[in-house]
Structure 1
Amino acid sequence: MTVTRHQQSPSPDLQLPSLPELTLRALEACRGEQSYRQIGEIVASDTAMAARVLALANSALYGRPGEIRSVEQALLRLGTDCVHSLILTVALRQLLFNLGADQWGQLRDFWRHSLTTALTARALATLTRYNDPDEAFLLGMLHNIGELIALKTEDEHLKQQYLDQQAEIGANLTESWGLGPMAADAMRYQQASPADIQDASHLVKLINLSTRLALSDAAGIAAAIRVFDLSEELTHEIRLRIDREVEALAQTLSIPLREHYDAEPGQQRLRHSLISQALTNEALSLAQQPDIPSILAHAVSGLTLLTGMPCLSFGAGDDGLTLMATSQGDLASMVVASTPAHSVLTKAFAGSGPVTLEDDAPTVLDRQLLNLLGTPSFCALPVQAGSDAVGVLVLGTNSNEDPSRDLADMYARQLSQNVSRALREHQDSDLERSTEHNELRRQLHEVSNPLTIVRQYIYQLRNKMEDPGVQGDLDVIREELERATNLLLQVGRHSPEDQEFDRILLNDELKPLADLFEETLFANGHTSLNLNLCRTPTWISGSRGSIRQLVINLVKNAVEAMPAGGDVTLRTTAPVIQSGSQWVELVIQDSGPGLPANVQHQLFRPVETTKGSHHSGLGLSIVKQLIDGMEGIISCHTGDTGTLFRILFPMTADDDTDTHR
């Protein structure tokens, strides 16, 4: 049943103590990678672990409730990783129970009685041909769970209330776990008289009689005769066999059944060997998530496993705090503003530590969260990456002093470390990809430069050849080399990393290009290059690769348009004021015959150029795309005395050190 602010009833997913020897045995089975059946036998022999596994397997986290009827089925549904984490966290939770010597003795006696009842129920179910002996065993282990709740309860009035209502508590819990109405009735009527259950269902009779036989008194023998018509001799034989089975298991676990029981040695072993393992295993499962939203969503399951209480997770974004995951029910669509910090949730997000719902009047948002959690109180724990909060975990609690808080705080701190680690790994991965891409771009540039030089030498060789056929062949070779160069440059440009612009001094990019041109395009002596760079800073925001590509394309076009020779000028001016903004101007001018009419009519779109009928004029269209990508402007003036391209790049301030976009 669900805990509310108006009831003092236990939550369905209970945090109950186990004998440390049983917990250790279950952990050893997990470490040894034993089968589900072997692990299930250990878990099923402990009321606390069985209840925990059953409640979780029948929760909304793992599908529809009411489909699990045994511990082994529950373990199969949960899966290996979840089972191991669950048992590990049960052991960790065990360390929080502050039981006295008398209480540990009572817990040992409780375990012996529960196991005896369960084994008896299974034996009777087999003997009387009940269709599911494992179900009878499970209910036998859980039948007096109210007594276990009372054992760990400090408030004497509440303790007595649990003891008085333990049959009803067991029925309610069984029903909430989806075990069905017949199972709930078996728990509810476990203390009814034999006469009252004479015509009750088979399962009710099994649990009722098993609880009586586990007490080893004459009343149990008499009840066996009346309920199932079992002879006294057969009943004695069943009891002796069950007693021997319980004693054998206790001996293998080093649990004394007749002497004083001291739990401290077992608790010490748990304390020294399991805390670090618990946190490490949880951290490993979380670290495998690819991003922060996945980590926050996964954390809900982890925190629910760890504390046994309902949990919510919120992720931080531009819109505020968004509900990412919930451990129970459907995920509601919920986005709340992260400021101002009035509620428990927003206070935790704004701070660096957990915040608890105190006795002050809760805000409307606090009440909404209480409704989603179904608990009397809750605490909010920030999840941080370094000093920045990236989300908040909200844990339902039974009170402001709930011991789950300390465990949840430990979990949230470990989770924050995992988030920080995931961010660092993501940044390292981005850096590695960027480095690889930069290396590719460098190699493409190294390949494209020699191709440009080869093209120029082919051009010079062509002018020296008199055979028209050879000249045509050289034209084809030069055109294909140019096509390959353009493809290489586009491969280097079409990448997400190219959208990250650098702060560039345009003049510094033009100087090495001019040296390259002098050695290649202008090496024949018929064409000259004039470099006229302004003295003022020419800071722009752009891609160095794009700058080089557009300048090479325009200069190469200019040279090839002047086969008889001429002049090409590169000139910069800064700043240029236009439309109220400052720009850096780049002018590329030649003294050639001007652009032909068909190119002028479709300027900056692919057309057939003056370079030959076999070449598709992609150069100017690529230039336009590159300039548009840097939010620049290009214009052209052409005539009989030459062609001038004027390019304006947005100018960045001298002291602007962050112009990436």
Structure 2
Amino acid sequence: MNQNSALLLERLEVTNLPSLPHVLLKLLEACNRDNSSFRTLAEIINKDTALSSKVLGAANSAYYLRPHKITVFEQKLILLGLDAIKSIAISSSVLQVFSNITFSSEFALKRFWYNSLTSATLAKLIAHKVNFPYPDEAYLSGLLLDIGQLVLWSNFPKQYASLLGSSENETEFSLLETKQLGITHYEVGSWLINSWNLSSFMSDAVLYHHEPQERIQDAHPLIKITRLAHVLTSDEFDQEYRVSLAESLLGIDAKDVVSMLQTATEQVAIIAQSLDIDINTNTEEEPLQEALPAAEASERRKFRAAAVTTSKEPKITKSEVDNQKRLQLAREVRDISLIEGTSLNCGIATQESTLVSIQRSFYILFGLQNAMFFLYDQEYDIIYGNNMGGQSELINELVMPLEKGKNMLADALLSKSPQNSFSYQDEGNLSLIDEQIVRLSGAEGIFCIPMTSRQTQAGVAIFGIHKSQLPRLEKQTKLLTAFAQQATHSLAACHARDEQTKLIELETLTATRAKARQIVHEANNPLSIMKNYIKALGVKLDKADPAQEDLLILNEEIDRVAKIIRQLTESTDAAINLTELNINGIILDLIRIMQESLFEPNQVKVESNLDSSLPHIMTDKNKFKQVLINLIKNAVEAMSRGGQLFISSRNNVVKNKFNYCEIIIKDNGPGIPQEILDHLFEPVSTTKGKGHAGLGLTITKSIIDELDCKISCKSDIKSGTTFTILIPIN
């Protein structure tokens, strides 16, 4: 591809490709029904080239991070969500109604739709016949084979229409495209599909669908399938060539060709009827070459009939139904505008999800990909970067003052008008931070759209663009500004909800703490009495009595309980009190104190294997002890009929190049169900039944994180459950 072709591609408008009003009306109707499934929507969208291209482009944008294999088209819709699909339907309808493109006899959209759908249907039938594992991929490849024609015609309607009427075969047509435009429709189609980052050979299938048999004989199956679908759809090729190609390329015999042609014709006719598309495919049968010399006479007649029906271009007429559909679509767009103009988005959304929706809408409406957002902080009067999925983390480190003349972003926000780096560069006003953002965008320059309204400054949206795209964006300034204002309102509403939520949380927390102070005051009384009794018991016992050590442990545990209760009244979590801790000593103390109170009553035998080389660790004694107690209690309670508990420690365990001390607490109980295991450290994930809140492991995980440790769990019904704690060695 030469430099002129590359420049042409950069200038092409590919987001506003036209669809038949009949299809758009059907899609709008389905979107407005509460019970419409993704499958229903997929069955409408995948009948139209332009709509399918919008879905594939949006579903494979940078936000979704990685390309996806097309196995089922419905998955793409699920990935986008119903709101995005409705946005595609509405934006496509609005653009269709207000488009300046007029349909010509040379490029009849109904004829294009019919041929594309026939090609797609045949591609899927062929894929099934040859056991190609991705029939939906073959279908979409067939549907998009000539999307390049749609792109070129919508960008250069008069010039391309004259090309369509000036050639007799596809070879001559390709030469005319190259001569007058510098590029062919299949190169344009391949470029567009390649821009979606699909994990697929679809772009190659489009690029090579005009190649002769000898060139694609050993190519990928998808390329051969789409080539055959194209040949069977086109009326350029005689029947002998079609049969010969089917047999030599994919091993499909004449009878199967007949069957597929008849099936495709019937299916497309049914679809056209369901969409109220009036296409008359009845044509006079012309004499055909003998393509099946070895076939029976009846088969020969079937082949002729099917070939004529499919290969001949349908008789396209502008019927009264078509005019009615255009008027009906215009009325639908008017009604949508009235509804959207008098309603607010009252859905519950976070700032992140709102930005994701705005980013996706910029692509669906304007073809602007991977928006970078810089948000305004009113308190500090600054603009700061907000990284989105798939973007450089360095964006978060960029902060700039909201002062006129300091940078392009501030100028855009203060002037409430779009700015671009090309103009700033020409005038010598591009600041250093502007240059950094251009480099982060990975493009030739950037286009900056302020998100502002009369009373609100939300920030700016930035897009990496080529200079050749600038004229098109400048023409859309009013529409871009109007959409940015809507985005501002959404972000402002989101911010207001966040502030209201914080206020409610603060009021709730204040009331909870007042109640907690009352509980703490009442709980301290019995704890004080218990401490006094333990002290009195210690005085009565001989100082050398072994029970004195047990009393000391009980006294420490009462102090620990009192400290935990006091935390209920503190405004923040208790600070970490680092002490040098003997982990093995803590484990042995807990085993001793729990022997009579927990292990023996539950018929649990405890075995320990503690590494004597374990060093003393700097950590919070009370918090770490709480973690061990929670895990040991959980293990015992899981073994309702008794069992074995194994506790071990090990020094110098290396994980990801870091040294840790390892503690393992293992039981031979019934294990944890997988559905619980997947959400183990979330609140209310409990298998203990009534009387247990399911918060123990949530608290445990919270403490582990606070102490900069790590915890993991493995469990199955045969070997029980194992918790592993890793403590970093400082």
Among 252, 257, 280, the residue aligned to 1:235: 257
Partner of 2:311: none
Q: How do 1:256-405 residues align onto structure 2 when only pairs under 5 Å count?
A: 256-257=278-279, 258-260=316-318, 261-262=322-323, 264-276=326-338, 283-284=345-346, 288-290=348-350, 295-296=354-355, 298-310=357-369, 311-317=371-377, 318=380, 320-326=382-388, 329-333=391-395, 334-337=397-400, 338-341=402-405, 343-356=407-420, 359=423, 361=425, 363-364=430-431, 365-366=433-434, 368-373=436-441, 378-384=446-452, 387-395=455-463, 398-402=469-473, 405=477
TM-fit CA distance, 1:39: 1.3
Partner of 2:709: none
Deviations 1:232-270 (A, max 9, x none): 565344323322322222222222223215463244134
What is the alpha-carbon distance in structure 2 between the residues aligned to residue 370 and residue 323 of structure 1? 13
Among 106, 109, 112, the residue aligned to 2:108: 106
What is the alpha-carbon distance in structure 1 between the residues aligned to residue 73 and residue 157 of structure 2? 32
Any idea what SS the aligned residue of 2:405 has? coil
What is the alpha-carbon distance in structure 1 between the residues aligned to residue 388 and residue 513 of structure 2? 46
Deviations 1:57-90 (A, max 9, x none): 2233123114334422212322344333443333
Contact conserved, 2:64 with 2:390, CA < 8 A, in 1?
A: no
Partner of 2:156: 154
Residue 296 to residue 376, structure 1, CA distance change in 2 (3 Å): same
Residue 375 to residue 97, structure 1, CA distance change in 2 (3 Å): farther
TM-fit CA distance, 1:430: 6.5
Any idea what SS the aligned residue of 2:449 has? strand
Partner of 1:414: 486
What is the alpha-carbon distance in structure 2 between the residues aligned to residue 189 and residue 282 of structure 1? 48
Residue 331 to residue 30, structure 1, CA distance change in 2 (3 Å): farther
Any idea what SS the aligned residue of 1:361 has? helix
Contact conserved, 1:167 with 1:188, CA < 8 A, in 2?
A: yes
Residue 16 to residue 124, structure 1, CA distance change in 2 (3 Å): same
Supply the AA of the counterpart residue of 2:192. L
What is the alpha-carbon distance in structure 2 between the residues aligned to residue 319 and residue 197 of structure 1? 62
Aligned length: 449
Name the stretch that deviates more: 210-219 or 168-177. Answer: 168-177
Among 87, 90, 95, the residue aligned to 2:89: 87
Contact conserved, 1:122 with 1:133, CA < 8 A, in 2?
A: yes
Q: How do 1:37-48 residues align onto structure 2 when only pairs under 5 Å count?
A: 37-48=39-50
Supply the AA of the counterpart residue of 1:302. S
Among 54, 64, 77, the residue aligned to 1:62: 64
Q: Unpaired segments of 5 or more residues in structure 1?
A: 448-489, 497-661
Supply the AA of the counterpart residue of 1:391. G
Residue 433 to residue 282, structure 1, CA distance change in 2 (3 Å): closer
What is the alpha-carbon distance in structure 1 between the residues aligned to residue 476 and residue 453 of structure 2? 23
Residue 190 to residue 349, structure 1, CA distance change in 2 (3 Å): same
Deviations 1:418-460 (A, max 9, x none): 344345555656777788899999999xx9xxxxxxxxxxxxx
Supply the AA of the counterpart residue of 1:335. L
Residue 215 to residue 424, structure 1, CA distance change in 2 (3 Å): same
What is the alpha-carbon distance in structure 2 between the residues aligned to residue 392 and residue 168 of structure 1? 35
TM-fit CA distance, 1:316: 1.7
Does residue 23 in structure 1 map to residue 60 in structure 2?
A: no
Deviations 1:572-622 (A, max 9, x none): xxxxxxxxxxxxxxxxxxxxxxxxxxxxxxxxxxxxxxxxxxxxxxxxxxx
Supply the AA of the counterpart residue of 2:23. L
Contact conserved, 1:315 with 1:323, CA < 8 A, in 2?
A: yes
Contact conserved, 1:44 with 1:50, CA < 8 A, in 2?
A: yes
Does residue 247 in structure 1 map to residue 269 in structure 2?
A: yes
TM-fit CA distance, 1:414: 1.4
Residue 223 to residue 384, structure 1, CA distance change in 2 (3 Å): same
Does residue 144 in structure 1 map to residue 166 in structure 2?
A: no
Contact conserved, 1:85 with 1:281, CA < 8 A, in 2?
A: no
What is the alpha-carbon distance in structure 1 between the residues aligned to residue 199 and residue 243 of structure 2? 25
Residue 393 to residue 297, structure 1, CA distance change in 2 (3 Å): same
Q: How do 1:122-271 residues align onto structure 2 when only pairs under 5 Å count?
A: 122-154=124-156, 160=177, 164-180=183-199, 182-219=201-238, 222-228=241-247, 230-232=252-254, 234-257=256-279, 258-260=316-318, 261-262=322-323, 264-271=326-333
Contact conserved, 1:174 with 1:180, CA < 8 A, in 2?
A: no
Supply the AA of the counterpart residue of 2:7. Q
Name the stretch that deviates more: 433-442 or 204-213. Answer: 433-442
Contact conserved, 1:382 with 1:391, CA < 8 A, in 2?
A: yes
Supply the AA of the counterpart residue of 2:382. G
What is the alpha-carbon distance in structure 2 between the residues aligned to residue 294 and residue 126 of structure 1? 40
Partner of 2:648: none
TM-fit CA distance, 1:139: 0.3
What is the alpha-carbon distance in structure 2 between the residues aligned to residue 303 and residue 51 of structure 1? 16
TM-fit CA distance, 1:224: 3.2
What is the alpha-carbon distance in structure 2 between the residues aligned to residue 104 and residue 96 of structure 1? 22
Q: How do 1:447-462 residues align onto structure 2 when only pairs under 5 Å count?
A: none
RMSD: 4.2
Partner of 1:34: 36
Residue 494 to residue 235, structure 1, CA distance change in 2 (3 Å): closer
What is the alpha-carbon distance in structure 2 between the residues aligned to residue 49 and residue 345 of structure 1? 34
Residue 52 to residue 223, structure 1, CA distance change in 2 (3 Å): same
Name the stretch that deviates more: 258-267 or 430-439. Answer: 430-439
Deviations 1:366-420 (A, max 9, x none): 5554554456665433223752423112245622333654443222111222344
Any idea what SS the aligned residue of 2:67 has? coil
Supply the AA of the counterpart residue of 1:248. I
Name the TM-score, length of structure 2 as normaliser.
0.53
TM-fit CA distance, 1:116: 0.8
What is the alpha-carbon distance in structure 1 between the residues aligned to residue 226 and residue 120 of structure 2? 8
TM-fit CA distance, 1:213: 1.3
TM-fit CA distance, 1:102: 2.0
Any idea what SS the aligned residue of 1:380 has? strand
What is the alpha-carbon distance in structure 2 between the residues aligned to residue 31 and residue 77 of structure 1? 19
Partner of 2:119: 117
Residue 164 to residue 4, structure 1, CA distance change in 2 (3 Å): closer
Residue 150 to residue 345, structure 1, CA distance change in 2 (3 Å): same
TM-fit CA distance, 1:121: 0.7
Partner of 2:283: none
Residue 278 to residue 146, structure 1, CA distance change in 2 (3 Å): farther
TM-fit CA distance, 1:299: 2.7
Any idea what SS the aligned residue of 1:196 has? helix
Any idea what SS the aligned residue of 2:425 has? coil
Contact conserved, 2:413 with 2:457, CA < 8 A, in 1?
A: yes
Supply the AA of the counterpart residue of 1:313. F
TM-fit CA distance, 1:314: 0.7
Identity of aligned residues (%): 23
Supply the AA of the counterpart residue of 1:8. L
What is the alpha-carbon distance in structure 2 between the residues aligned to residue 47 and residue 118 of structure 1? 10
